[in-house]
Structure 1
Amino acid sequence: MSVLLHGDAAFAGQGVVFETMHLSELPDYTTHGTIHIVVNNQIGFTTDPRFSRSSPYCTDVARVVNAPIFHVNADDPESVIHVCNMAAEWRGTFHKDVVIDLVCYRRNGHNEIDEPMFTQPLMYTKIRATKPCLEKYSDQLVQEGIVNEAEVKDVKDKYDKICEEAFERARQETHIKYKDWIDSPWSGFFEGKDPLKVNPTGVIEDTLVHIGKRISAPPPNAAEFKMHKGIERILKARMEMVESRITDWALGEAMAFGSLMKEGIHVRLSGQDVERGTFSHRHHVLHHQTVDKATYRPLCNLYPDQAPYTVCNSSLSEYGVLGFELGYSMTNPNALVIWEAQFGDFCNTAQCIIDQLLSSGQAKWVRQTGIVLYLPHGMEGQGPEHSSARLERFLQMSSDDPDYFPPESDDFAVRQLHDINWIVANCTTPGNLFHILRRQIALPFRKPLILMTPKSLLRHPEARSSFDEMVEGTEFMRIIPDKGPASENPSGVEKVIFCSGKVYFDILHAIKDKKLESKIALTRVEQVSIQHFLKCMHFDRYMFFKLTPFPFDLLKQECAKYSNASIIWCQEEHKNQGGWTYVEPRFETTLAGQRDIM
């Protein structure tokens, strides 16, 4: 049963309350009824209710969903219990939200050392002349003959003794057991696992082909199911890609989802317009063109014994929905939970969840989560804010030290993943997307993944991957060295350009147009891999490496390879945005002052 505890000022003032109320009866977000308990102190810190809300009651926001609201005197414990029983019965019978407004007060102001008489002198004059609730109720029971003074004292003394004994035991503790602070400790998830061993993410080609054909095929009852002509063309193009053993972004994503569901992993994709995809690339829900509510979901029909697939368009909410998905992801480590922003900058209105609960989740709240944030990013001419997912903010909140080069070892990459607070990636190939999504489940621990997703690259003819990059024996690519003319004569290379995102393709075309392939080595910054440098050699002629955690080891090798070249970082964004402020000090640490980066 979902029970939420609120303050009165927050219930009236925080927009997330309204957002959450609006989720309460949406099919893919409902909790089948939440009991909201408002501890109504009748004042927010020092602000009087007359200056903190426009409605008569702090609970009026709940009227938006016609939730019953019980206002009860908190100094009357029996009335409070009666109201709580009614609320539980309402929730159990109708599976809808209900609100309990505990009308009470703060005896000591905002905290024990606050002086509330500064701002509310009349109220606190009355409060100080009022007996505490415990004394009032004790006196009532004695007057009614239910208990006597000795019994009241006995109960108080027993409780004080319990508290004192617990306090003394706490002073004797020498270490903290994290599991004691976790309400759902994922029983059995961490047991028997090597914390630095990652399961393979590649799959057999037959699985890729099967998923590709299912996601590209019309509904089984195609004769009766009238599809949009545009969808027919999209499915036909997908089928051609499958037959050619090539994937684009949408197909690579579908194969990651489908292969996880085949292994029993529930996949949930949530956000604004995610069923079709903001950029009309996904189409995971096909709509009958003449029959209302008649739909077909290909990924729900891959295997008879597959895990569930949930894809759901959300309300136009970021703060509330991301908070919901974060909670969803923490209930079960064996589920891939993804929240997609309509555009990357939409995460701005969910920043409280990101800053307070996600980036610091493990350090502050002792909770792991493998939630994935899809944030469409790329300077596509829609202004400096609507184009950017604020990559720099996520990098700034990463917990790796720019001045520390970790000891090199065989498990360097996975150890970095284990120690970091979250993973930030900017993939530009469907193959890397496929592996990084599957790796979220393959890891022996859980870390949030912040994924800068493309817009124009969704249909870019060069942003494609072969099935060979996703089959058994392949993994997410951390770095791919140049295998073209530049790599054949590294001493003659004049520049090594590192970049991130779609600007890679612009630079690549410029290099080819000017016939500088032997003079310039071009690298893509994507994310981190479990794969060792030498295993990556056969894939491509351009180098990838990750954003965070930073690939100190592979960067060191690559710079040493092109010992005579100048090192350049290139990005679409302004100098105070994007990855520059993050990568510059880490380049300097890697190069140990021997070379400069521009």
Structure 2
Amino acid sequence: MQFMEFDIKEKSSGDVKYHLGISSMATNSSGKKYKISMVANPSHLELVNTVVLGKTKAEQFYKGDELGKKVMAILIHGDAAFAGEGMVQESLNISNLKYYNPQGVIHVVINNQVGFTTNPNRSRSSLYASDISKILNMPIFHVNGDCPEEASYIGKVCAEYRQTFQDNCIIDVIGYRKNGHNEADEPKFTQPHMYDVIRAHPPVFVKYSKELVEKKVLTEDDVNKLVEKNDSLYESEYKKAQEQKEISLNDWNDSPWEDWKVPNTLTMSSTGITEDVAKHIATCFYTVPSGFEVHGAIQRILKTREDLTKKRLMDWAIGEAFAIGSLLKEGIHCRLSGEDVERGTFSHRHHVLHDQKLRKNVHISLKSLYPTQAEYTVTNSCLCELGLLGFELGYSLPNPNALVIWEAQFGDFANMAQPIVDTFISSGETKWVRQSGLVILLPHGMEGQGPEHSSGRIERYLELCSEDEDFCPPDDANFAFKQLNEINWIVANCTTPANIFHILRRQIAMPFRKPLVVFTPKSLLRNPLARSSFDDILVGTEFQRIIPDRGPASQKPEDVKKLIFCSGKVYYEIVQLLEEKKLQDQIAVTRIEQYCPFPFDLVKAEFNKYPKANIFYAQEEHKNQGAYHYVRPRISTSIGGARPVQYIGRDVSAAPSNGNKVIQKRELKKLQADLIAL
């Protein structure tokens, strides 16, 4: 199969061949079968570590393997990368935490200077490449790479140690690189004396076979026959590869979804639920067990939930709970992790309640909604966004029928996880034919909190979308569905609890899996305007890609002078301003809830509805940031360039936001003036 991969043109983007993942069944000497999976591994050194940990933890979860007796992770590292890359420390830190612990990992460091051309004294400050593992006090075995029997023995020792103690261990195999960084490299450019020694040194195969002949384990003839047999096998497989016309890229999938049946006709399942289900989840969500003492502030939050439920209304937290709770009822395992997710960074969620009197007594209402529901895992994480996002991606891989959510404490904090986004998530399906339904929640909003607590960097995620700004797909009954199927991932900025409910449930309702990035609100979590009716989530309802103006402007569209498209919390600021200035009949405001895939058809319909209106896109972000540069050409394409698309928002800035109240007020005042100008 490897030879075929080199010779046959792929339908995917392709990658360095040994970066591809694979999954296959193997049989040991006693006849027992087991699966070996290798996760696709990009060149960004060590990024795959926590992906493997997450995948291992998920496999253990689905097998009921709490002690890790059935599923084990093995990580193979280069010496330079193990000592130098921060992901190593993050993966070690994660490895013993509850809800993340894979019950011991065997680390193998190939200590042969394969990383690049420098010497060890320029590559690390410690004596051994493996020294960073001492933070966990794990056993470290240094093995001479010239001694295969000793290396094999230590491998067995580590396997038994891991199985016995469910703990990490490390094998540091000390050797040398024969040809430099790769087969075409000339290592003598930088290490001439070392390579004089290496090239005079007999290879492991020569040394070991000579030792076996001297010990009369094998004869010279036996060795030659083994070499001929091996060469013959390679030649035979290479010829087969040349005869093969095509291969299935799914053969390189590290965890095939064998039991996942995609319907012949691609259709979307309903995302709505019955009112009885909604009321039941809501009641559980605001009710605590008898005798459980809740913090006073949370008591008020629970009372608000109860009052909203009686009015058949929901806020953001209730919308989230409806999505997760209803999926749990349907047997869908849900997992929510990240910094502060149990209560929510902005103290809105409170999925885990802590008894104020009894230590370690907690109540998680969504874990006990129904007797036969699926398992709900909600857990705060350690402070390592890069490693955590990789872990949750890995957790999403074994099972397509699970909702796996990672939330950044602030959207800005996902900056630390950007390499995982770039190498695994946005391009994973194209590079490795690897689908994932992972959800990333990024709290976002310009609210004067400064440049490190405001922007989820919408522009970064939009520039990774594989959508042509100049091409408007043909409009038909399956327009929205076809877009979802063809795009690489989904990027949204929801403004209503109903839409967050539908978009989360849609992750499971789709007959395929796509990653989802949602820019979530901060101030809107408690804004009384950001509420939805139960009617918006009942059977027959669905995610709204755009939300049109439903005010006075929509009643007499021919009189409207200005049509503003916008996304996120700025919508509520605009409508309040228009109400204050009594301009609701002259300015229409339409929310774009889903950036990617872009709702070309609905934007065109809105444009046609207001024949005399000037077209604007308004955003709270700076002009060189946010969604403006993504949205503007797509609006233009939607309307055939009939009218220019103008900008309303902050001026350009090097920083994503400011934390100065004076500047914040000045920017806001200018934004408001531009919004109401006719």
TM range (shorter): over 0.9
**Would the alpha carbon gap of residues 75 and 446 (structure 1) be closer, same or farther in structure 2, given more than 3 Å must change?**
same
| Cα distance in structure 1, aligned partners of 2:525 and 2:262 | 40
Residue type at the aligned position of 2:269: N
* Misfit runs of 4+, over 4 Å: none
Residue of structure 2 equivalent to 1:334: 401
Deviations 1:113-149 (A, max 9, x none): 1111111112111111111111111111111111111
Deviations 1:419-477 (A, max 9, x none): 11110000010000000000000000000000101000000010000000001010001
TM (norm. structure 1) is: 0.95
| Cα distance in structure 2, aligned partners of 1:238 and 1:493 | 38
Within 5 Å, give how 1:123-202 maps onto structure 2. Answer: 123-194=194-265, 196-202=266-272
* Aligned pair partner of 1:565 in 613, 617, 621: 613
Matched, 1:309 2:376: yes
In structure 2, the gaps of 5 or more residues are 1-71, 647-678
Matched, 1:234 2:304: no
Residue of structure 2 equivalent to 1:541: none
Q: Is the 8 A contact 2:548 2:591 kept in 1?
A: no
Matched, 1:70 2:141: yes
* Aligned pair partner of 2:169 in 98, 105, 112: 98
Q: Is the 8 A contact 2:262 2:512 kept in 1?
A: no
* Aligned pair partner of 1:597 in 642, 645, 658: 645
Residue of structure 1 equivalent to 2:447: 380
Deviations 1:64-107 (A, max 9, x none): 11111111011111001000000100100000111111111110
| Cα distance in structure 1, aligned partners of 2:247 and 2:415 | 35
| Cα distance in structure 2, aligned partners of 1:204 and 1:49 | 64
| Cα distance in structure 2, aligned partners of 1:61 and 1:242 | 52
Within 5 Å, give how 1:417-456 maps onto structure 2. Answer: 417-456=484-523
Deviates more, 1:206-215 or 1:146-155: 146-155
Matched, 1:107 2:178: yes
* Aligned pair partner of 2:119 in 27, 48, 63: 48
| Cα distance in structure 2, aligned partners of 1:124 and 1:159 | 28
Within 5 Å, give how 1:106-505 maps onto structure 2. Answer: 106-194=177-265, 196-219=266-289, 222-223=290-291, 225-505=292-572
Residue of structure 2 equivalent to 1:540: none
Residue type at the aligned position of 2:273: V
Deviations 1:334-379 (A, max 9, x none): 1100001000010011111011111111011221000000100010
Residue of structure 1 equivalent to 2:667: none
| Cα distance in structure 1, aligned partners of 2:593 and 2:544 | 8
**Would the alpha carbon gap of residues 43 and 367 (structure 1) be closer, same or farther in structure 2, given more than 3 Å must change?**
closer
Residue 385 of structure 1 deviates from its aligned partner by: 3.8
Residue 593 of structure 1 deviates from its aligned partner by: 2.4
Residue 483 of structure 1 deviates from its aligned partner by: 3.2
Residue 162 of structure 1 deviates from its aligned partner by: 1.7
The share of aligned pairs that are identical, in percent, is 56
Residue type at the aligned position of 2:235: E
Q: Is the 8 A contact 1:276 1:283 kept in 2?
A: yes
Residue of structure 2 equivalent to 1:2: 73
Secondary structure of 1:185's aligned partner: coil
Residue type at the aligned position of 2:618: C
Q: Is the 8 A contact 1:43 1:49 kept in 2?
A: no
Residue of structure 1 equivalent to 2:635: 587
**Would the alpha carbon gap of residues 358 and 153 (structure 1) be closer, same or farther in structure 2, given more than 3 Å must change?**
same
| Cα distance in structure 1, aligned partners of 2:305 and 2:246 | 56
Matched, 1:39 2:110: yes
* Aligned pair partner of 1:26 in 92, 97, 105: 97
* Aligned pair partner of 1:551 in 595, 599, 611: 599
Residue 193 of structure 1 deviates from its aligned partner by: 4.5
| Cα distance in structure 2, aligned partners of 1:444 and 1:172 | 35
| Cα distance in structure 2, aligned partners of 1:173 and 1:456 | 59
Residue 42 of structure 1 deviates from its aligned partner by: 3.2
Residue type at the aligned position of 1:571: Q
Residue 479 of structure 1 deviates from its aligned partner by: 2.5
| Cα distance in structure 2, aligned partners of 1:34 and 1:246 | 47
Residue 205 of structure 1 deviates from its aligned partner by: 0.3
Deviations 1:292-321 (A, max 9, x none): 211111111101110000000101110111
| Cα distance in structure 2, aligned partners of 1:520 and 1:177 | 54
| Cα distance in structure 2, aligned partners of 1:561 and 1:226 | 55
Residue 52 of structure 1 deviates from its aligned partner by: 1.6
Secondary structure of 1:331's aligned partner: coil
| Cα distance in structure 2, aligned partners of 1:254 and 1:516 | 36
| Cα distance in structure 2, aligned partners of 1:568 and 1:201 | 32
Residue of structure 2 equivalent to 1:57: 128
Paired residues in the alignment total: 575
Matched, 1:576 2:624: yes
Residue of structure 2 equivalent to 1:532: none
| Cα distance in structure 1, aligned partners of 2:382 and 2:254 | 29
| Cα distance in structure 2, aligned partners of 1:354 and 1:46 | 29
Deviates more, 1:517-526 or 1:468-477: 517-526
Deviations 1:29-60 (A, max 9, x none): 00001111111113530121111211111111
* Aligned pair partner of 1:79 in 150, 157, 165: 150
Secondary structure of 1:18's aligned partner: helix
Within 5 Å, give how 1:529-544 maps onto structure 2. Answer: none
Residue of structure 2 equivalent to 1:17: 88
Q: Is the 8 A contact 2:80 2:123 kept in 1?
A: yes
Residue 481 of structure 1 deviates from its aligned partner by: 2.8
Q: Is the 8 A contact 2:114 2:181 kept in 1?
A: no
Residue type at the aligned position of 2:494: C
In structure 1, the gaps of 5 or more residues are 528-546
| Cα distance in structure 2, aligned partners of 1:309 and 1:35 | 29
Secondary structure of 2:240's aligned partner: helix
Secondary structure of 1:111's aligned partner: coil
Residue type at the aligned position of 1:471: L
Deviations 1:391-429 (A, max 9, x none): 000000000011111111111111111111110000010
Secondary structure of 1:100's aligned partner: strand
Secondary structure of 1:560's aligned partner: helix
| Cα distance in structure 2, aligned partners of 1:193 and 1:424 | 27
| Cα distance in structure 1, aligned partners of 2:389 and 2:349 | 20
| Cα distance in structure 1, aligned partners of 2:621 and 2:241 | 51
| Cα distance in structure 2, aligned partners of 1:269 and 1:169 | 47
Residue type at the aligned position of 1:565: A
Secondary structure of 1:89's aligned partner: helix
| Cα distance in structure 2, aligned partners of 1:281 and 1:192 | 38
Q: Is the 8 A contact 2:547 2:593 kept in 1?
A: no
Residue of structure 2 equivalent to 1:544: none
Residue of structure 1 equivalent to 2:659: none
TM (norm. structure 2) is: 0.84
| Cα distance in structure 1, aligned partners of 2:109 and 2:372 | 44
Deviates more, 1:487-496 or 1:27-36: 487-496
Deviations 1:192-246 (A, max 9, x none): 443x311000000000000000010012xx22x2221112221111111111111
